[in-house]
């Protein structure tokens, strides 16, 4: 079984990190320098709501109970999206809001990304 760290950074979405990626985040927090206060806040929330979990043989993980409650993830659909080395987990209301935001100005965004090489 593979271990992951599940937490939130923004109290809106859950994030599932492979342990090596989460360890990189912890090193970033420790070496934050002039952004130590910000790092301490993010780290504190992540540790408060987070926890280690194992991916079972069917690919399932147990999200910490307090995190599920905080994000309103109980008894509703959840969406998973790969994001910068982790998996972002969205509850229904947050996902719908992000979808609506993504649709706004999408033609311009696609055009800009094609200029950068999007195929």
Contacts of 89 (CB under 8 A, 6+ apart): 13, 14, 15, 16, 63, 71, 73, 78, 79, 80
Asked whether the CA dihedral 82, 67, 51, 45 is positive or negative, the reply is: positive
The position carrying tokens 């996902």 is 95
pLDDT recorded at residue 84: 87
Query: Block means of pLDDT (10 residues each) for the chain, length 119 residues?
Result: 92 95 95 95 96 93 94 92 92 93 94 95
Its pTM surpasses 0.75: yes
Q: Which domains does the chain have, with CATH numbers?
A: 2-115 (3.40.1550.20)
Contacts of 25 (CB under 8 A, 6+ apart): 17, 46
pLDDT recorded at residue 1: 58
Helix, strand, coil content of the chain in percent (nearest 5):
50, 25, 25
Q: Which two tokens stand for residue 116?
A: 């950068």
């Amino acid at each position: 079984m593979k271990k992951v760290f599940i937490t939130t950074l923004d109290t809106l979405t859950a994030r599932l990190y492979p342990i090596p990626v989460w360890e990189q985040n912890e090193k970033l927090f420790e070496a934050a320098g002039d952004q130590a206060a910000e790092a301490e806040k993010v780290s504190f929330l992540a540790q408060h709501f987070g926890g280690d979990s194992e991916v079972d043989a069917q690919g399932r993980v147990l999200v910490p109970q307090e995190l599920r409650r905080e994000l309103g993830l109980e008894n509703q659909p959840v969406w998973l999206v790969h994001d910068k080395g982790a998996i972002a987990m969205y509850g229904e209301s947050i996902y719908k809001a992000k979808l609506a935001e993504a649709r706004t100005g999408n033609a311009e965004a696609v055009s800009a990304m094609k200029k950068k090489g999007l195929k």
